[in-house]
Structure 1
């Protein structure tokens, strides 16, 4: 069967659809609580530059290592060994699971504006309804129901239309005086250094850019291979522009203190303050359709990550099994059991959406760092550059910046999320032990013992922090 080819506009729309997720609907409050327009502009400049270099690393590796097609963790394994490869796979999968939890929290928080029983998305009623939703989607996917093209089209329109309407309406309501008052941080807000303001937004910017590495997956559908690069750049610029405007325009219609105190999804609350209740309903309906579509897609992605890792012998082989509908059933069961556990855990969180957002980003950073470091290692060593040596310096610069950027993000996230990530990584190592025993291979070699020891020590300190209350969630 001939594969239908995509035009440049269609390819660009696919890139936009894969990048725009639930996070954009939460940007006004998340940034408002952290910084003013100056800090926001600096944060987006750093994030856009860093994520662009990371995207270029992914594109370069896809061209130079076409045989490594088992996901982002394949690069970590090829560059640094089996255990780092496992950690990358486990981190990416766990981050996908937690990202799915953030969808349910945001859905219930959105409904909470109209039905107070759902609160901020982590009440008992919200958890019960989310749990029903998890398993309804689970059994639907098990039957082989996948996201059809028309569903994706509806979801993409539902994502972009409310965002564009929000931008246009706030642009007309722009108050230069109010924007000026908020410019350096605004009144009635804690006085923190500009560095700390920017640092507080870094994990948020990672969350909204998650999926940027997926842009190149559409390359085989392009009418011309050159369209892939054009679509990636156009989609990246378009989405970044939308996110910057969604972040900055609220500062021109409301005081920063008001924005910081809004409930999530804050985009709906901001629009309501400008045009009345219909604004909140409009954004909320678009968000619900968007997030439910995104949840279906990411449920499949999360299960696929575990399935492919098992096929690649990085996870126990049980997760490489499929049912009669060619759905990775065991991987899907494991994924949704983990999602369910995290949904229940949100009951004890003061700001469940912010916690899940930051933890999703934190778990993605180790895989991203290893990919960037592998790109740097490859360019520095010169392998695969024999045919086009002139590209080596360019790729080396991009990989170096991407490595420094992802390392900075881990630092910017702070010790709290590093320890919470360790709490997840350490017990996850049991899956690695299981897989190695199945294969009759030595568990650890070289520096793997040191990495495992660091993960266990971090997890122990993290658990102590949670129990003692020094780490608040």
Structure 2
């Protein structure tokens, strides 16, 4: 890109970034994930909870985009503005490293998908699978280095291409809908584990967070928007479209197959469901769509990862090196570090028992802290009336939205369990090295009193997490 005018993205491009970010690996895993945990009734409850919470969070992003137009790269900038330097850094770092882990899950699922046809790929974490994924990582890396605008255009094309197989999946299962089968599965059906409804819903919560990741895609990339109002509009348009698809992909299999059969399927379970309904071509069709979908989501998240790290460096909260851009105005140092981290996590999957499930849950856990800080910041400015000199009548509404979003994210953190809190701490604590580097680079004090307490808690959590992994109390 040669000038600022060529950088600008339309509302269609921003919406494509949101949809491209959200529709990735997660949607293809929904049938088995929900089938193993609950029946249609529990699934409906889970989507009501998740949809409501994420809708409120989307409205918070929309309100902040309009009322705080000076804050770019939303997730990180809002946390810093509301709670200070170190919490802001943790938000940026957590969001960035969580996105890197999410990118790893994409490669694992692609190789697992290929493993259904070529056993050499196994469940996505064999040596061959790791080598092929590594090649893919660096091919994308060098494509993005050619320019953000070009990559964003490719993302629009890929987003359209990957929605088609999902829509066809929904249509086929809707046409073959069997009411009797749906009734049989409604409360869980034969062989349903003896768990309470609350536990059934709780078991699906982290995957609902994972499939909603990307809702903030337009906000993160707001510095490229043609109009600031387009950011909020794109967020809500993307949210509505993707939520509808995810609910249908979850519920329609229950009207075609027994819950226990769905629960025992190989991931990506959407391919296995369509194969059971229409024959072997269904698995090939969905698998091809999955590969296009996941590669598109990977592209979108590569853009977001680099953008968050770059913006944090521009605002003096990451080392200056990550603010460097190449001649195409791509944050080159941020992109290199992102892909090095993704590469290291890809290698680590070799030792994981269920690499995809682990990466999915850890990505969700790492993203919840940044989401919580955004929701809490929205609540703070609405309570104070800050920026509500214009359209003050919206203040009470925005306060309610932000309050619900805050409660929802706290509930999600608790639902994830202690295991993922400790695993998150293992990443947050050493990540603070980047914060210390940046502060010393500028001759600024490291922590105030509250930030010192937060840092100590992170260190303690990291120690317990490492101990848990070493002793087998935490199984990866």
The alpha-carbon deviation at position 171 of structure 1 amounts to 1.3
Partner residue, 2:283: 280
Q: How does 1:394-433 map to 2 (within 5 A)?
A: 394-433=397-436
The alpha-carbon deviation at position 147 of structure 1 amounts to 4.2
CA contact (8 A) 2:155 2:300 kept: no
- Deviation above 4 Å: which 4+ runs of structure 1? 1-7, 9-15, 143-150, 215-222, 227-234
Q: Cα gap change, 1:386/1:141 in structure 2, threshold over 3 Å: closer, same or farther?
A: closer
Partner residue, 2:261: 258
Cα offsets for 1:156-176 (capped at 9, x unmatched)? 222211111111111122222
Q: Cα gap change, 1:170/1:14 in structure 2, threshold over 3 Å: closer, same or farther?
A: same
Partner residue, 1:360: 363
Partner residue, 1:65: 68
Aligned residues: 470
Distance (Å, rounded) in 2 between the aligned partners of 1:153 and 1:326: 20
Whether 1:129 and 2:132 are equivalent positions in the alignment is yes
Distance (Å, rounded) in 1 between the aligned partners of 2:161 and 2:115: 20
CA contact (8 A) 2:23 2:297 kept: no
Cα offsets for 1:294-323 (capped at 9, x unmatched)? 212221221221111111111111111123
TM-score (norm 1): 0.93
The alpha-carbon deviation at position 220 of structure 1 amounts to 4.7
Cα offsets for 1:119-164 (capped at 9, x unmatched)? 1111121112111221222233334476456533431222211111
Distance (Å, rounded) in 1 between the aligned partners of 2:340 and 2:7: 36
Partner residue, 1:179: 182
Distance (Å, rounded) in 2 between the aligned partners of 1:327 and 1:72: 20
CA contact (8 A) 2:306 2:335 kept: yes
CA contact (8 A) 1:147 1:297 kept: no
State the superposition RMSD in angstroms.
Answer: 2.3
Partner residue, 2:47: 44
CA contact (8 A) 1:13 1:235 kept: yes
Whether 1:192 and 2:195 are equivalent positions in the alignment is yes
The alpha-carbon deviation at position 228 of structure 1 amounts to 7.0
> Is 368-377 or 183-192 further displaced after alignment?
183-192
Whether 1:151 and 2:147 are equivalent positions in the alignment is no
Structure 1: where are the runs of 5+ without partners? none
2:338 to 335, 339, 345: 335
1:170 to 173, 177, 193: 173
TM-score (norm 2): 0.93
> Is 400-409 or 23-32 further displaced after alignment?
23-32
Cα offsets for 1:209-253 (capped at 9, x unmatched)? 11112346679547x96x876665454333211111100111122
Distance (Å, rounded) in 1 between the aligned partners of 2:350 and 2:6: 50
1:441 to 441, 444, 463: 444
Cα offsets for 1:443-466 (capped at 9, x unmatched)? 110201110011111111111111
Q: Cα gap change, 1:212/1:324 in structure 2, threshold over 3 Å: closer, same or farther?
A: same
Whether 1:309 and 2:303 are equivalent positions in the alignment is no
Partner residue, 1:201: 204
The alpha-carbon deviation at position 386 of structure 1 amounts to 2.4
1:375 to 373, 378, 393: 378
Q: Secondary structure at the match of 2:449?
A: coil
Cα offsets for 1:365-409 (capped at 9, x unmatched)? 000000111111111112212233221111111110010000000
The alpha-carbon deviation at position 79 of structure 1 amounts to 0.8
> Is 14-23 or 45-54 further displaced after alignment?
14-23
Partner residue, 2:299: 296
Distance (Å, rounded) in 2 between the aligned partners of 1:311 and 1:13: 26
Partner residue, 1:347: 350
Q: How does 1:111-122 map to 2 (within 5 A)?
A: 111-122=114-125
Partner residue, 1:56: 59
The alpha-carbon deviation at position 328 of structure 1 amounts to 1.9
> Is 317-326 or 453-462 further displaced after alignment?
317-326
The alpha-carbon deviation at position 65 of structure 1 amounts to 1.3
Cα offsets for 1:58-101 (capped at 9, x unmatched)? 11111211111143111111111100000000001001101110
Q: Cα gap change, 1:423/1:15 in structure 2, threshold over 3 Å: closer, same or farther?
A: closer
Partner residue, 2:329: 326
1:392 to 363, 387, 395: 395
1:212 to 209, 212, 215: 215
Q: Secondary structure at the match of 1:212?
A: coil
Q: Secondary structure at the match of 1:443?
A: coil
